[in-house]
Chains A and B, each alone.
Chain A
Amino acid sequence: MRTAATKDASTKDAATKDAATKVAATGEVATFEVILKIRRNNPEASGEHEAGAGYWQEFRVKVHSTERILDALHTIKWEQDGSLTFRRSCAHGVCGSDAMRINGRNRLACKALIKDLHPSRPITIEPIQGLPVLKDLIVDMEPFFASYREIMPFLMPSGDAPKRERLQSPEQRARFEDTTKCILCAACTTSCPVFWTDGQYFGPAAIVNAHRFIFDSRDDAAWERLEILNDRDGVWKCRTTFNCTDACPRGIQVTEAISQVKRALATHRV
């Protein structure tokens, strides 16, 4: 199974040469100007803005066609206005720092290519919704992590640990593979209309992380977690609007995971 993947490497030179010419575009990049309309908020009074008052500010930025929103935010911060504040780290969609609302949709700034965002019109950028705004695009993540902690996001096996690894078949692993990809960016939870109106709701990300353990064959605490999610602020609040699935930068089938949890509760079977 492991090595079956190879066709014949040597016969593929022609294809590779094609590839070499096809990516010729890589290397020459067009530049253009975009307008970013950014929702700002300074917890300390500055200029004509009162402490904590939200306002919009427009920036004109020269960008390359290969650049992402994060690059444009950096250009502003490094060349125009050092006070523009946002979180970021990895810059390629794996750390979950820079979820924001871009043209009305939750995305990671480091994965949102400017050329895909209708750059002939101003691009709007706002903090994700439903969590308290602390400064510009930075929100308070504590309520989000608190819900995460509540679903007991750690393996709880019963019995003594074996000497070697616990066995798990590829099929058993496949049941929860999708939800292991979560980077806790909060894009899903803060795109959920139920969460916006009811901050008590656990939100999709917590359910995703519960799913990751509920369907892990090595875990024995599925029912403890399901009990928690059966609560009035749990899965039944979900109205299946699919915003979360659309928002997830990791391509996790969030709504499907929530449905599987609901099904387990309804059928009493994991």
Chain B
Amino acid sequence: MTHYEYDVVIVGAGGAGMRAALESSQRSKTAVLTKLYPTRSHTGAAQGGMAAALSNVEDDNYEWHVYDTVKGGDYLVDQDAAEIMCREAIDAVLDLEKMGLPFNRTEDGKIDQRRFGGHTREHGAAPVRRACYAADRTGHMILQTLYQQCVKQKVEFFNEFYVLDLILSKNPQSAKKGAKVSVTGVVALELATGEIHTFSAKSVVFATGGAGKVFKTTSNAHTLTGDGMAIALRAGLPLQDMEFFQFHPTGLYGLGILLSEAARGEGGILRNSEGERFMERYAPSIKDLAPRDVVARAIAREVREGRGCGPKKDYVLLDLTHLSPEHIDEKLPDITEFARTYLGVEPHTEGVPTYPTAHYAMGGIPTTVNGEVLRNATETVDGLYAAGECACVSVHGANRLGTNSLLDINVFGRRAGAAAAAHAAKAPQPSMPAHAAARVVGIVERLLAGTGDASSPRPGDIRSELQEAMDRDAQVFRTAESLTHVQAKVPGLKERFARATIQDKGRRFNTDLLEAIELGFLLDLAEVILAGALAREESRGGHFREDFPTRDDKKFLKHTLAYATPTGVTLDYKPVVITKYVPKERVY
């Protein structure tokens, strides 16, 4: 065990973590701890684009972008935060270009832009070209470019270090109102050796990404297990709006691999078994480019009503066949290759089988617009920051617009990194308690002990049961009955997990061990998602309750804050910041 001391520790090296590191490492001694090599982070999987009202190809305005973000989020967006994001978007894109990002270009050499769902001009008048992109590899280019700059700046990385605990100066739930709760550091397991290390830090930034693996069908990587969110929750902090999960309409059938909305931005059309362009019925004005929650539900409904394709009638087709093959190859090379490789379908001539896939966590660790983490509706934790998909600012509200996350990670990654460095400049080096690593050591030793024989439950089984139950009962359509059904299963899964053992008893590169620990995080998060979803008796954005099919602003125009307490998940609420846009019905 080694003890390290840094000014700033950043947890995660995806887009948000590296953008933060570029800020903080210029001003303070910064370490980036990441369970994956930075370039393996899931930001690299993002395809379609990054939104900014550059007006490079048609008239645009950041204020329209704010409006679209608020409306797309079904009015659960904090409007002050959305305004900051959309205003700073322009510089965020230009910064990336100056760092070398190879955006696609217009004929006159400027950054090219394309359409994306829910992005409009003049408050919904017509779609606007706002997404800056690099073919269908925008996230890859962002991740590579940020990593290149980190190499240039000699940012210090601890690769394959799994952060497993956050140590605060006191329990935030028992701390009195007005009392100061501050960060002291984190505990991490080094994959190569299995050693557990402590890192004392004046500022800690969580940038650990999403939690898509709570579900079975997902566009998320195997490693997106919501670690940062669950660690914060276990440390006594609240998670915000976790019931809002985005199901992306076009996952590759059976696999969940994403086919970017850019496919529809470039002219792709969804069709049912009758060949009908069914989005004309659901969103007459913007059709296939309606926001994701609307399209995902439309697909699920077509399938449910018997108009699905294939022998099981359980998917719809994404039709690109009316586009020229050259156009498809130029603008959508990667996703069309996914269709060929994984389903053996040729998008030039055939429709691609698709079904909604769990894609994005709108909720997360609640923060201010400077990334400071909240410990309740009003107070922050001194020195603790979060950014990116693991955080909830909240700029995405109940439903994130496509291209707004790559934007979010850059804008709020930068802000959190700057704020963390500024805080570290005036804070003393915290001393960590003597037994800081005890909780992690306990978890690790329990899993390593045990015989791993056939009689003890296997983490792999528990994980697939959880994921299948979540897909079945907490996906695009939810009811009190379905949610209660899966909720009733979780305690049993947790009880089995408490007895589960692993087979690999070694210390080095024990991925068996780490997968089990990640499963523990998923189980905690599932509970929070379900509690929030059950309590929210309305339908808003990505959360659709068939038993309460309309939005209820009187009762639920508020953010959920969920806490893990000794007696289970408890819920509290927090007002939505509304500045300009009064909630209206959302029609497309």
- A residues apposed to B, CB below 8 Å: 1-2, 4-9, 11-20, 22-24, 26-28, 42-44, 46, 66, 77-79, 81-83, 85-97, 111, 113, 134-136, 138, 141, 145, 149, 152-155, 157, 161, 164-170, 172-173, 176-177, 180-184, 213, 216, 218-219
CB of B45 within 8 Å of the partner chain: yes
> Which residues on the A side are within 8 Å of B510 (C-beta)?
85
Task: Tell whether, in the assembled complex, residue B105 and residue A66 are in contact, meaning their CB atoms are under 8 Å apart.
Answer: no
Task: Tell whether, in the assembled complex, residue B40 and residue A96 are in contact, meaning their CB atoms are under 8 Å apart.
Answer: yes
Q: A26-B253, A26-B254, A89-B36 are in contact. Are A170 and B100 (CB under 8 A)?
A: no
> Which residues on the A side are within 8 Å of B94 (C-beta)?
164-165
Task: Tell whether, in the assembled complex, residue B109 and residue A169 are in contact, meaning their CB atoms are under 8 Å apart.
Answer: yes
Task: Tell whether, in the assembled complex, residue B100 and residue A23 are in contact, meaning their CB atoms are under 8 Å apart.
Answer: no
Task: Tell whether, in the assembled complex, residue A95 and residue B351 are in contact, meaning their CB atoms are under 8 Å apart.
Answer: no
Could you give, for residues 213-228 of chain B, a 1 whenever the CB lies within 8 Å of some chain A CB and a 0 otherwise?
A: 0000000011100000
CA distance A164 to B95 in the complex (A): 9
Task: Tell whether, in the assembled complex, residue A180 and residue B144 are in contact, meaning their CB atoms are under 8 Å apart.
Answer: yes
> Which residues on the B side are within 8 Å of A213 (C-beta)?
100
Could you give, for residues 29-50 of chain B, a 1 whenever the CB lies within 8 Å of some chain A CB and a 0 otherwise?
A: 0000000110111101100000
Task: List B303-348 residues whose CB lies under 8 Å from chain A.
Answer: 309-312, 314-315, 317, 319, 321-324, 326-328, 334, 338, 341-343, 345
> Which residues on the A side are within 8 Å of B326 (C-beta)?
5
CB of B581 within 8 Å of the partner chain: no
Task: List B106-139 residues whose CB lies under 8 Å from chain A.
Answer: 106-111, 114, 134, 137
CB of B236 within 8 Å of the partner chain: no
Give the secondary structure class of B's interface: loop
Among B39, B103, B257, the residue within 8 A (CB) of A92 is B257
CA distance A65 to B341 in the complex (A): 13
Closest approach, in angstroms, between the C-beta of B228 and any C-beta of chain A?
A: 16
CA distance A18 to B309 in the complex (A): 11
CA distance A181 to B44 in the complex (A): 11
Among A16, A27, A86, A152, the residue within 8 A (CB) of B311 is A27
6 closest pairs, A vs B, by CB?
A: A155-B100, A78-B460, A5-B327, A82-B503, A167-B109, A83-B504
Task: Tell whether, in the assembled complex, residue B36 and residue A97 are in contact, meaning their CB atoms are under 8 Å apart.
Answer: yes
CB of B271 within 8 Å of the partner chain: yes
Among B137, B151, B310, B512, the residue within 8 A (CB) of A23 is B310
Task: Tell whether, in the assembled complex, residue A177 and residue B343 are in contact, meaning their CB atoms are under 8 Å apart.
Answer: no
| 30 residue pairs bridging A and B, Cβ less than 8 Å apart | A5-B326, A6-B323, A7-B324, A9-B322, A14-B275, A15-B349, A16-B271, A19-B349, A19-B350, A23-B343, A23-B350, A24-B310, A26-B343, A77-B460, A82-B458, A85-B504, A85-B512, A88-B222, A89-B36, A89-B221, A89-B222, A89-B223, A90-B221, A92-B45, A154-B149, A154-B151, A164-B94, A170-B104, A170-B107, A213-B100
> Which residues on the B side are within 8 Å of A9 (C-beta)?
267, 269, 277, 322
Among A16, A91, A134, the residue within 8 A (CB) of B509 is A134
CB of B431 within 8 Å of the partner chain: no
Task: Tell whether, in the assembled complex, residue B148 and residue A155 are in contact, meaning their CB atoms are under 8 Å apart.
Answer: yes
Task: Tell whether, in the assembled complex, residue A78 and residue B458 are in contact, meaning their CB atoms are under 8 Å apart.
Answer: yes
Task: Tell whether, in the assembled complex, residue B100 and residue A12 are in contact, meaning their CB atoms are under 8 Å apart.
Answer: no
Closest to B108 in A: A167
Count chain B residues whose beta carbon lies closer than 8 angstroms to a beta carbon of A.
90
> Which residues on the B side are within 8 Å of A95 (C-beta)?
36, 39-42, 44-45, 221
Task: Tell whether, in the assembled complex, residue A216 and residue B100 are in contact, meaning their CB atoms are under 8 Å apart.
Answer: yes
CB of B508 within 8 Å of the partner chain: yes
CB of B266 within 8 Å of the partner chain: yes
Among A14, A15, A66, A170, the residue within 8 A (CB) of B254 is A66
CA distance A95 to B341 in the complex (A): 16
CA distance A184 to B148 in the complex (A): 12
Task: Tell whether, in the assembled complex, residue A19 and residue B140 are in contact, meaning their CB atoms are under 8 Å apart.
Answer: no
Task: Tell whether, in the assembled complex, residue A28 and residue B311 are in contact, meaning their CB atoms are under 8 Å apart.
Answer: yes
Query: How many pairs of residues, A versus B, come closer than 8 Å at their CB atoms?
Result: 233
Extra 15 A-B pairs, beta carbons < 8 Å, given A24-B310, A149-B151, A183-B140:
A4-B324, A9-B277, A22-B350, A83-B504, A87-B40, A90-B221, A93-B338, A94-B44, A94-B45, A113-B342, A154-B152, A155-B148, A170-B104, A170-B107, A176-B102
> Which residues on the A side are within 8 Å of B102 (C-beta)?
173, 176-177, 180, 216
> Which residues on the B side are within 8 Å of A91 (C-beta)?
221-222, 257
> Which residues on the B side are within 8 Å of A164 (C-beta)?
94, 110
CB of B564 within 8 Å of the partner chain: no
Among B223, B277, B327, B503, the residue within 8 A (CB) of A83 is B503
CA distance A193 to B269 in the complex (A): 47
Task: Tell whether, in the assembled complex, residue B341 and residue A111 are in contact, meaning their CB atoms are under 8 Å apart.
Answer: yes
Q: A9-B322, A134-B192 are in contact. Are A24 and B105 (CB under 8 A)?
A: no
Closest approach, in angstroms, between the C-beta of A137 and any C-beta of chain B?
A: 10
CA distance A20 to B310 in the complex (A): 7
CA distance A20 to B97 in the complex (A): 42
Closest to B463 in A: A78
> Which residues on the A side are within 8 Å of B223 (C-beta)?
89
CA distance A183 to B271 in the complex (A): 34
CA distance A97 to B44 in the complex (A): 12
Closest to B331 in A: A5
Closest approach, in angstroms, between the C-beta of A140 and any C-beta of chain B?
A: 9
CB of B9 within 8 Å of the partner chain: no
Task: List B496-531 residues whose CB lies under 8 Å from chain A.
Answer: 502-512
> Interface centre among B110, B141, B266, B309, by most A CB within 10 Å?
B309
Task: Tell whether, in the assembled complex, residue B40 and residue A12 are in contact, meaning their CB atoms are under 8 Å apart.
Answer: no
> Which residues on the B side are within 8 Å of A177 (C-beta)?
102
> Which residues on the A side are within 8 Å of B110 (C-beta)?
164-165, 167
Q: A17-B275, A90-B42 are in contact. Are A23 and B351 (CB under 8 A)?
A: yes
CA distance A170 to B311 in the complex (A): 44
Among B40, B257, B322, B345, the residue within 8 A (CB) of A26 is B345
CB of B273 within 8 Å of the partner chain: yes
Task: Tell whether, in the assembled complex, residue A6 and residue B98 are in contact, meaning their CB atoms are under 8 Å apart.
Answer: no
Closest to A64 in B: B254
Task: Tell whether, in the assembled complex, residue A83 and residue B506 are in contact, meaning their CB atoms are under 8 Å apart.
Answer: yes
Closest approach, in angstroms, between the C-beta of A17 and any C-beta of chain B?
A: 5
CB of B353 within 8 Å of the partner chain: yes
Task: Tell whether, in the assembled complex, residue B39 and residue A96 are in contact, meaning their CB atoms are under 8 Å apart.
Answer: yes
Task: Tell whether, in the assembled complex, residue A12 and residue B321 are in contact, meaning their CB atoms are under 8 Å apart.
Answer: yes
Closest approach, in angstroms, between the C-beta of B50 and any C-beta of chain A?
A: 13
> Which residues on the B side are within 8 Å of A135 (C-beta)?
508-509
Closest approach, in angstroms, between the C-beta of A252 and any C-beta of chain B?
A: 12
> Which residues on the B side are within 8 Å of A20 (C-beta)?
271, 273, 275, 309-310, 317, 351
Task: Tell whether, in the assembled complex, residue A113 and residue B310 are in contact, meaning their CB atoms are under 8 Å apart.
Answer: no
Task: Tell whether, in the assembled complex, residue B319 and residue A134 are in contact, meaning their CB atoms are under 8 Å apart.
Answer: no
> Which residues on the B side are within 8 Å of A168 (C-beta)?
105, 109
Closest to B351 in A: A19
Closest to A9 in B: B322
> Which residues on the A side are within 8 Å of B425 (C-beta)?
none
> Which residues on the A side are within 8 Å of B578 (C-beta)?
none
CA distance A134 to B507 in the complex (A): 12
CA distance A113 to B344 in the complex (A): 11
Task: Tell whether, in the assembled complex, residue A85 and residue B351 are in contact, meaning their CB atoms are under 8 Å apart.
Answer: no
CB of B99 within 8 Å of the partner chain: yes
Closest to B132 in A: A165
Closest approach, in angstroms, between the C-beta of B114 and any C-beta of chain A?
A: 8
> Which residues on the B side are within 8 Å of A93 (C-beta)?
338, 341
CB of B430 within 8 Å of the partner chain: no
Q: A12-B322, A19-B351, A184-B39 are in contact. Are A166 and B312 (CB under 8 A)?
A: no
Closest approach, in angstroms, between the C-beta of B267 and any C-beta of chain A?
A: 6
> Which residues on the A side are within 8 Å of B549 (C-beta)?
none
Closest approach, in angstroms, between the C-beta of A178 and any C-beta of chain B?
A: 11
Closest to A141 in B: B37
CB of B452 within 8 Å of the partner chain: yes
